Structure 1
């Protein structure tokens, strides 16, 4: 009995020692594995940290002032409206002042009309108006031809003005036409329908520029004793002869 108790106690002690031995072995193995895992973890973390590529530098944020607006740190492209912004351009043409140097009055820069007058009798009136951009000189007297007459109509020398008539744009000069002379002093008056007007130059020799062809008032009669005056600045001065 006592032998069995001792044997049982011995077996129990032996089992206890085996259990303690296994626990100690497991504890050492766990500690070793934990230590190994603990020491390996920092190394693995460091390897991952060192192998990670450096982060890209972030681009500066572009601030905007509203939907669809240009970023504040971006210069907007220049826009052209077709105008010259680098300086002024000198214009010519319509802005250029007309040439004020006087020229000769001719059919090209004037308008000529012929009308009847009530006084004096048997007279016509020529009106010459400057239609150009500058002044012109109405030299001497107009040279007249009725229809197909071979000779120019006589000029009345007593009507010569003291100075050459100068016409600014829009101004007019006048010349009177005495159609006939004293009754019975020459051939009978002839009817005319057309009048050609030529213009004198500065020299007074011949004619210059473009002539003008006018239709005469109805029932116009003329003879060789008639006359035409010099150009006058006033209508009354022309009709005084």
Structure 2
């Protein structure tokens, strides 16, 4: 009887063992199922990492902004083109354009001022002439002509002198001819020397004392122009004779008095 009883117990124990194994297997399957779901979630998360480049792509907007700046740079380049002066209105859209336009305007003003500043012949109308006796060289007088006008004037050739309404003018000392025309800006002076008489004591012929003087000027074509200048002579007058001569107009009094 005890042997019979042991067999059913053994079978019952085996059945219990099988049941426990089945439960363990089921539990393992359940755990695996949870892990599978977790893996699924992980794979679901993967697209999220795929979306990250889209945010990085947002950085591309920054790149677009940079491109915009580059476009602005092109606009600045357009301002440079505007500096050419052909399209001043376009240049005006940028500071650079305005500056370039102003520069073009200045260039035009300078060009105009150069045209208006073209020289004219010196004459009694735009100069003041003085006559001064000098101690050296002896029997010499220095003429000083100053530009009193608003434009540059040219002293062509030499002064044509007329003492006391004489019938002729004294000859010029050819050796005194300058290499270029003497030009006077407003306020500037030119000079000419006058050899009044020959010898230390005025030993020339037909000498006399002159009381008045008229100074005539020439134009570019060697034509006498009016009005004449009438500088005052010393109160006692100046002694002149047939040796009377004059230098060309020069830019230096020292140069004039070397003849």
Q: Same fold (TM over 0.5)?
A: yes
> Is residue 102 from structure 1 mapped to residue 102 from structure 2 by the alignment?
no
The residue that corresponds to 2:230 in the other structure is 213
The residue that corresponds to 1:200 in the other structure is 218
Matched residue SS, 2:226: strand
Judge conservation of contact 2:162–2:214 (CA < 8 Å) in 1. Answer: yes
Q: CA deviation at 1:196?
A: 0.7
- For residues 117 and 204 of structure 2, what CA distance do their matches in structure 1 show? 47
> Is residue 236 from structure 1 mapped to residue 246 from structure 2 by the alignment?
no
Q: Over residues 51-110 of structure 1, what are the superposed CA-to-partner deviations in whole Å (9 max), with x where a residue is unaligned?
A: xxxxxxxxxxxxxxxxxxxxxxxxxxxxxxxxxxxxxxxxxxxxx969311000000111
**RMSD between superposed Cα atoms in Å:** 1.8
Judge conservation of contact 2:162–2:168 (CA < 8 Å) in 1. Answer: yes
Q: CA deviation at 1:186?
A: 4.0
The residue that corresponds to 1:113 in the other structure is 130
1:128 to 141, 145, 167: 145
TM-score, scaled to structure 2: 0.53
Judge conservation of contact 2:130–2:232 (CA < 8 Å) in 1. Answer: no
Q: CA deviation at 1:174?
A: 0.2
Q: CA deviation at 1:215?
A: 2.4
Judge conservation of contact 2:202–2:241 (CA < 8 Å) in 1. Answer: no
Q: Over residues 97-124 of structure 1, what are the superposed CA-to-partner deviations in whole Å (9 max), with x where a residue is unaligned?
A: 6931100000011111111111111111
Matched residue SS, 1:215: coil
> Is residue 160 from structure 1 mapped to residue 177 from structure 2 by the alignment?
yes
1:144 to 161, 165, 174: 161
Judge conservation of contact 2:157–2:248 (CA < 8 Å) in 1. Answer: yes
- For residues 148 and 113 of structure 2, what CA distance do their matches in structure 1 show? 16
May I ask how many residue pairs the two structures share in their alignment? 145
The residue that corresponds to 2:241 in the other structure is 223
Any gaps of 5 or more consecutive residues in structure 1?
Answer: 1-95
Q: CA deviation at 1:210?
A: 1.0
Q: CA deviation at 1:134?
A: 1.2
Structure 1 stretches of 4+ with a deviation exceeding 2 A read: 96-99, 182-186
- For residues 167 and 115 of structure 1, what CA distance do their matches in structure 2 show? 20
The residue that corresponds to 2:93 in the other structure is none
The residue that corresponds to 1:57 in the other structure is none
TM-score, scaled to structure 1: 0.57
Any gaps of 5 or more consecutive residues in structure 2?
Answer: 1-111
